[in-house]
Structure 1
Amino acid sequence: MVHRYKQFYNAINLTLDYLVLNISLIVVYNLLDSSLIPWMNNKSYLPVVLVFNLLWLLSSNITSLYNSVSDDDLKVYHSAIKTYLLYLSLICTIILLVIGTKTYFITKEYLFYSMSLFGILLGAWKVVFFALRKSDRVLLSNSRKAIIVGASRAGNELYNQFNNKVLKGYDLLGFFDDEPSKVKQQHLYLGNTSLCMDYVLKNNVDEIFCALPYSEHKTIERLMSDSDKNLIRFKIVPEYHEYFKNTSYLQNLGNIPILSVRAEPLENILNRALKRAFDIVFSLMIILFVFSWLFPILAILIKLESKGPIFFKQMRSGRDNHAFLCYKFRSMRINKDLEHKQATLGDPRITKIGTFMRKTSLDELPQFFNVLLGNMSVVGPRPHMLSHTEQYSQLIDQFMVRHFMKPGITGWAQINGLRGETKTTEAMLERVEADVWYLENWTFLLDLKIVVNTLLKSITGDKNAY
Structure 2
Amino acid sequence: MLNLSMFLAYLFINNPTTWQADNKYLLIILVFNLVWLLSTNITGLYESVLHKDSILTYRDFLKAYLLFIFLLSFFVIIIGIQSYLVTREYLLYSVIIFGFLVGGWKLIFLAIRKSNRDLFVNSRTIVIVGSGRIAMDIFQYFENHKHSGYRVIGFFDDKASRVAEIGLYLGSVSDVIDFTLENNVHEIFCALPTSQSKQIEDLMLAADKHLIRFKIIPEYIKSKKLMQVENYDHIPVISVRPEPLENMLNRFIKRAFDIVFSLFVIVFVISWLFPILAIIIKLQSKGPVFFTQERSGKDNVPFKCYKFRSMRVNADSDTKQATRSDSRITPIGAFIRKTSLDEFPQFFNVLMGHMSVVGPRPHMISHTERYSQLIDQFMVRHFLKPGITGWAQINGFRGETKTTEDMLQRVEADVWYLENWSFLLDLKIIFLTFWNVLKGEEKAF
TM-score, length-scaled by structure 1: 0.72
- What is the CA distance between 1:428 and its match in structure 2? 1.0
Letter in 2 for 1:293: W
- What is the CA distance between 1:121 and its match in structure 2? 10
In the alignment, the residues of structure 2 paired with residue 119 and residue 306 of structure 1 have an alpha-carbon distance, to the nearest angstrom, of: 60
Q: Secondary structure at the match of 1:378?
A: strand
Q: Secondary structure at the match of 2:304?
A: strand
1:132 to 113, 127, 135: 113
Unpaired runs of 5+ in structure 1? 1-15, 32-37, 42-65, 84-109
Instruction: Work out which of the two has the higher radius of gyration on C-alpha atoms and give 1 or 2.
Output: 2
**In terms of mean alpha carbon deviation, does 341-350 or 379-388 score higher?**
341-350
1:399 aligns with 2:378: yes
Q: Where in structure 2 are the equivalents of 1:59-458 lying within 5 Å? A: 70=53, 126=107, 129-140=110-121, 142-165=122-145, 168-183=148-163, 185-242=165-222, 244-458=223-437
Contact between 1:176 and 1:189, CA under 8 Å: does it hold in 2? yes
Contact between 2:117 and 2:147, CA under 8 Å: does it hold in 1? no
Letter in 2 for 1:204: N
Residues 128 and 162 (structure 1 numbering): CA distance in 2 closer, same or farther, change over 3 Å? Answer: closer
Residues 130 and 379 (structure 1 numbering): CA distance in 2 closer, same or farther, change over 3 Å? Answer: same
In the alignment, the residues of structure 2 paired with residue 402 and residue 358 of structure 1 have an alpha-carbon distance, to the nearest angstrom, of: 24
Q: In the alignment, what sits opposite 1:10?
A: none
Residues 246 and 305 (structure 1 numbering): CA distance in 2 closer, same or farther, change over 3 Å? Answer: same
Letter in 2 for 1:192: S
Q: In the alignment, what sits opposite 1:98?
A: none
Q: Where in structure 2 are the equivalents of 1:24-35 lying within 5 Å? A: none
Residues 119 and 357 (structure 1 numbering): CA distance in 2 closer, same or farther, change over 3 Å? Answer: farther
In the alignment, the residues of structure 1 paired with residue 52 and residue 174 of structure 2 have an alpha-carbon distance, to the nearest angstrom, of: 42
Q: In the alignment, what sits opposite 2:444?
A: 465
Write the deviation string for residues 269-295 of structure 1: whole angstroms up to 9, x where unpaired.
333233222221211111111111222
Q: Secondary structure at the match of 2:374?
A: coil
Contact between 1:150 and 1:176, CA under 8 Å: does it hold in 2? yes
Letter in 2 for 1:231: L
Q: Secondary structure at the match of 1:157?
A: helix
Write the deviation string for residues 344-393 of structure 1: whole angstroms up to 9, x where unpaired.
23333333332332233221110011112221111211100011001100
In the alignment, the residues of structure 2 paired with residue 167 and residue 321 of structure 1 have an alpha-carbon distance, to the nearest angstrom, of: 45
Contact between 1:161 and 1:167, CA under 8 Å: does it hold in 2? no
- What is the CA distance between 1:174 and its match in structure 2? 1.2
Contact between 2:397 and 2:409, CA under 8 Å: does it hold in 1? yes
Contact between 1:143 and 1:169, CA under 8 Å: does it hold in 2? yes
- What is the CA distance between 1:29 and its match in structure 2? 7.8
In the alignment, the residues of structure 2 paired with residue 352 and residue 146 of structure 1 have an alpha-carbon distance, to the nearest angstrom, of: 70
- What is the CA distance between 1:119 and its match in structure 2? 9.0
Contact between 2:127 and 2:187, CA under 8 Å: does it hold in 1? yes
Contact between 2:318 and 2:364, CA under 8 Å: does it hold in 1? yes
Q: Secondary structure at the match of 1:185?
A: helix
Contact between 2:372 and 2:379, CA under 8 Å: does it hold in 1? yes
In the alignment, the residues of structure 1 paired with residue 212 and residue 432 of structure 2 have an alpha-carbon distance, to the nearest angstrom, of: 48
Q: Secondary structure at the match of 2:170?
A: coil
Unpaired runs of 5+ in structure 2? 15-21, 26-48, 63-91
In the alignment, the residues of structure 2 paired with residue 415 and residue 166 of structure 1 have an alpha-carbon distance, to the nearest angstrom, of: 37
Contact between 2:126 and 2:153, CA under 8 Å: does it hold in 1? yes
Contact between 2:118 and 2:147, CA under 8 Å: does it hold in 1? no
- What is the CA distance between 1:316 and its match in structure 2? 0.4
- What is the CA distance between 1:314 and its match in structure 2? 0.8
In the alignment, the residues of structure 1 paired with residue 320 and residue 271 of structure 2 have an alpha-carbon distance, to the nearest angstrom, of: 31
Q: Secondary structure at the match of 2:205?
A: helix
Letter in 2 for 1:159: F
Residues 123 and 363 (structure 1 numbering): CA distance in 2 closer, same or farther, change over 3 Å? Answer: farther
Q: In the alignment, what sits opposite 2:69?
A: none
In the alignment, the residues of structure 1 paired with residue 370 and residue 239 of structure 2 have an alpha-carbon distance, to the nearest angstrom, of: 27
Q: CA RMSD in A?
A: 4.0
Residues 28 and 465 (structure 1 numbering): CA distance in 2 closer, same or farther, change over 3 Å? Answer: farther
In the alignment, the residues of structure 2 paired with residue 240 and residue 132 of structure 1 have an alpha-carbon distance, to the nearest angstrom, of: 34
In the alignment, the residues of structure 2 paired with residue 394 and residue 359 of structure 1 have an alpha-carbon distance, to the nearest angstrom, of: 31
- What is the CA distance between 1:124 and its match in structure 2? 8.8
Write the deviation string for residues 81-112 of structure 1: whole angstroms up to 9, x where unpaired.
xx9xxxxxxxxxxxxxxxxxxxxxxxxxx9xx
In the alignment, the residues of structure 2 paired with residue 383 and residue 456 of structure 1 have an alpha-carbon distance, to the nearest angstrom, of: 22
In the alignment, the residues of structure 1 paired with residue 164 and residue 324 of structure 2 have an alpha-carbon distance, to the nearest angstrom, of: 52
Residues 184 and 239 (structure 1 numbering): CA distance in 2 closer, same or farther, change over 3 Å? Answer: farther
TM-score, length-scaled by structure 2: 0.75
In the alignment, the residues of structure 1 paired with residue 198 and residue 342 of structure 2 have an alpha-carbon distance, to the nearest angstrom, of: 63
Q: In the alignment, what sits opposite 1:102?
A: none
In the alignment, the residues of structure 2 paired with residue 239 and residue 401 of structure 1 have an alpha-carbon distance, to the nearest angstrom, of: 24
Identity %: 57
Contact between 2:134 and 2:191, CA under 8 Å: does it hold in 1? yes
